[in-house]
Amino acid sequence: MSDSSVVTRIAPSPTGAMHIGTARTALFNWLYARHTGGKFLLRVEDTDRERSTEAAVQVIFDGLAWLGLEADETPVFQAARADRHVKAVDEMLARGSAYRDYMTPDELETERTNARAEGRVVRSPWRDHSPNDAPDRPFVVRLKAPIEGETVIDDQVKGRVVFQNKDLDDLILLRTDGSPTYNLAVVVDDHEMGVTHVIRGDDHLNNAARQTLIYQGLGWAPPVWAHLPLIHGPDGTKLSKRHGAQAVSEFADMGYLPEAMRNYLAKLGWGHGDDEIFSDEQAIGWFDIKDVVGAPARLDWAKLNHLNNHYIRQADPARLAGLVAAIHRSRDFPLHDGHLAQLAHVIPFVRDGAKTTLELADATVFALSRRPLAFTDKARELVVNDETRARLGRLRTALAAAPTWDVPTLENVNRGFAESEGVGMGKFGPALRAALSGGTPAPDLAGALVSLGKDESLARLDDALSLGG
């Protein structure tokens, strides 16, 4: 499908963290915009001035940038648009679709009590007053919503959702201080940003009904709605702190790659047949908002780890080297000049088992450690007995004579050495590994030797051979 008139948006409220539910909503909006050749926009819903600090807004920018979901235009800030919101209400007053409500707090309280007793929503008597009837006292502006009939949301995910208008009260649009309310701001902003598809969490489904009435009051066409089910924890309950990470930054800190997150989040509520692993291009080609499932999606750590391992195995070693170096730095692990090149060299030998970049960093420690290595007791025992020491000495000679220093050659050298000694590899492999690593996790023999390079490998062997028993 190519419909370049599609405009989607993500409209996060800056709270100080970017929840992965918001990340998934952003991803689905981005995928749909890319799929249709449309635009993906960002609006910062910063009307809560206390929470919307510069740092909290930055968290949103950083989260989207990390996920690779950058908006196609400069972000819109909702709070800066209050004048536009108020102007829209002026238009509604002029059209007769909004009215000034002068109920005093006491009158409102009485009406609330009556409404509750009569099982109906609050209705202001000012709804039916002439606009010229204006007492000199504070007022709110309310939407003059229809009382009869129903409001239907034809939701792309939830299907047809019907609200009885008699159950929807006349929403406040402007408070007594003249400030605009949330639903009004969303409608005016979405309309003026040209948003055609509102794709968001289903905690906003009720707002869709209210917002539809505001659209009608303004004489505007509502957008296409698509409300996404929540993300649940592995146990099927609403995702919360006890399920572990919830914020995008936490997933980043735990060593997940953004492309793995995109692939994983795409699978939370959407999918393409049985495909587990797919590229952005494939997801963009396949994604349709109509295929999102209505049932809550469950976070599955094993699947996320599996995907992350896949992308770690695919990633450019130089890029992984940068990530791993940052992890080492954050752990105060000493890095030396040339560590990036060394990491990029080592990473291909150690990445197969890594589920996260933290594990990848662990797996590189053996190579970055400086001589002389600190040996674990177990590693020391492996190398200090006389028989092993003598054999390692002979192995050193064989290795030093290797014509080239690559995996196939060194595998041959090790095999040939085992034959010439008349023993299995088990008789010297663990000791060689202990000599090369001091007991920290290291890859298989040839991989460890190539990771370290010839000079360093032989020097570590020499160190081990001179260890006192």
Our separate counts of H helices and E strands in the chain read 19, 12
Residues 6+ apart with CB under 8 A from 105: none
- β 140-143/231-232 pair status: unpaired
DSSP letter string, 289-311: GGG--SSPEE--HHHHHHHHHHH
Within positions 8 to 47, which residues make up the interface with ligand GLU, using CB under 6 A?
11-13, 45
Q: Which residue has the tokens 């229809």?
A: 146
Among 7, 145, 186, 431, binds ligand GLU (CB under 6 A): 186
Task: Give me the least distance between CB of 46 and ligand GLU, in Å please.
Answer: 9
Task: Give me the least distance between CB of 186 and ligand GLU, in Å please.
Answer: 5
Contact 349, 451 (CB under 8 A): yes
Catalytic-labelled residue, pool 39, 158, 241, 267 = 241
CB atoms within 10 A of CB 291: 13
Q: In this complex, which beta carbon is closest to ligand GLU, that of residue 31 or of residue 186?
A: 186
**Span interacting with ligand GLU, options 5-13, 308-316, 355-363, 395-403, rule CB under 6 A:** 5-13
The reply to whether 144 belongs to the active site is no
| CA 315 to chain CA mean position, Å | 18
Look up residue 181 and give its DSSP letter.
Answer: P
Q: In this complex, which beta carbon is closest to ligand GLU, that of residue 49 or of residue 370?
A: 49
Q: In this complex, which beta carbon is closest to ligand GLU, that of residue 227 or of residue 345?
A: 227
Residue 79, CA distances (Å) to 53, 185, 196, 363 in order: 12, 9, 22, 48
Answer yes or no whether residue 155 interacts with ligand GLU by CB under 6 A.
Answer: no
Mark 71-110 with x for binding to ligand GLU (rule: CB under 6 A) and - for no binding. Answer: ----------------------------------------
Task: Give me the least distance between CB of 119 and ligand GLU, in Å please.
Answer: 30
Residue 375 in 3-state DSSP?
coil
Within positions 188 to 207, which residues make up the interface with ligand GLU, using CB under 6 A?
200, 204
Q: In this complex, which beta carbon is closest to ligand GLU, that of residue 154 or of residue 203?
A: 203
Q: How many residues bind ligand GLU (CB under 6 A)?
A: 7
**Which residues are registered as beta bridge partners of 353?**
none
Q: In this complex, which beta carbon is closest to ligand GLU, that of residue 158 or of residue 351?
A: 158
Task: Give me the least distance between CB of 53 and ligand GLU, in Å please.
Answer: 16
H/E stretch holding 4:
none
Question: Alpha-carbon distance 119 to 108, whole Å?
Answer: 16
Look up residue 19 and give its DSSP letter.
Answer: B
In the complex, the residues that contact ligand GLU under the rule CB under 6 A are 11-13, 45, 186, 200, 204
Q: What are the catalytic residues?
A: 241
